Amino acid sequence: MASDHADKAVNGLGTANGEGGVQDGVMGQTAGHGSDKRGGNLPRVGGSGLGRPRPKQECRNFQMRIDSNGTWYYQGSPINRKELVCLFASVLKRDPDGGFWLETPVERGRIEVEDAPFVAVEMCWKDCDCGDGRPRQCLTFRTNLDEIVTANAEYPIRVHLCPKTRQPRPYITIRPGLEAKISRAVFYELVALGQTETVDGREMLGVWSEGVFFPIDEAHVLDTAAE
């Protein structure tokens, strides 16, 4: 199957010693590239750490894509092994111009991201002590790659509204410049926790987390939609 070929291709991203080189650490110094039978080259993100690092190669296209559901592809075939996807995700960066890159100690190359590179698939909420002695609601999210983040001033929730339909597309920051799209099921849970607050003179429905209010939409618009 095509997806099996993709998994076999990414198996070569470590050193000549195989997958153990990958598990030794994504920031190990390596040279060269993994390859598959189709002649494609993948970034080397693992390694033994032996020898001196070579100058970083830049601006290569890795022929990798993340679709709107958070699935990673290599040369058009899905990468099914989650541990390898997590390995690539750990070296994912975003430029100020919006471009996405995989950046290792030895090379840097572009990948395509259709929407957001991650998807928030689970949310839990609880009252916690944020340091001022008062319990405050904290919203914690888990992504499809099992990264955990709590919404706050550093990791904000934002909701993009379509100008024509006001259809919401919610996101949460996972790392600087990188967001997870909040899945529809999780977004429904988020709305259920919503409270109305006045923001810049407008009644907004939103959620609190670690003492920060994150607006979702104007309260009267959501009330109309619910009728």
Query: 132 and 105 share a domain?
Result: no
Predicted TM-score (pTM) of this structure: 0.76
Tokens of 72: 């990673």
* Rounded-to-integer distance, Cα 179 and Cα 159, Å: 12
Q: Domain range for residue 212?
A: 118-226
* Rounded-to-integer distance, Cα 101 and Cα 59, Å: 9
CATH number at residue 155: 2.30.270.10
Asked if residues 117 and 91 have their Cβ atoms less than 8 Å apart, the reply is no
Domain count along the chain:
2
Residue pLDDT tens, the chain, 227 long: 555 555 655 554 433 333 333 333 333 333 334 444 444 556 655 554 444 555 556 667 889 999 999 999 999 999 999 999 999 999 999 999 899 999 988 888 999 999 999 999 999 999 887 666 778 899 999 999 999 999 999 999 999 999 888 899 999 999 999 999 999 999 999 999 999 999 999 999 999 999 999 999 987 765 544 44
Asked if residues 160 and 217 have their Cβ atoms less than 8 Å apart, the reply is no
CATH number at residue 67: 3.10.540.10
* Rounded-to-integer distance, Cα 139 and Cα 195, Å: 14
3-state secondary structure of 65: strand
3-state secondary structure of 6: helix
Helices (H), 162-212: 184-192
Query: 124 and 158 share a domain?
Result: yes
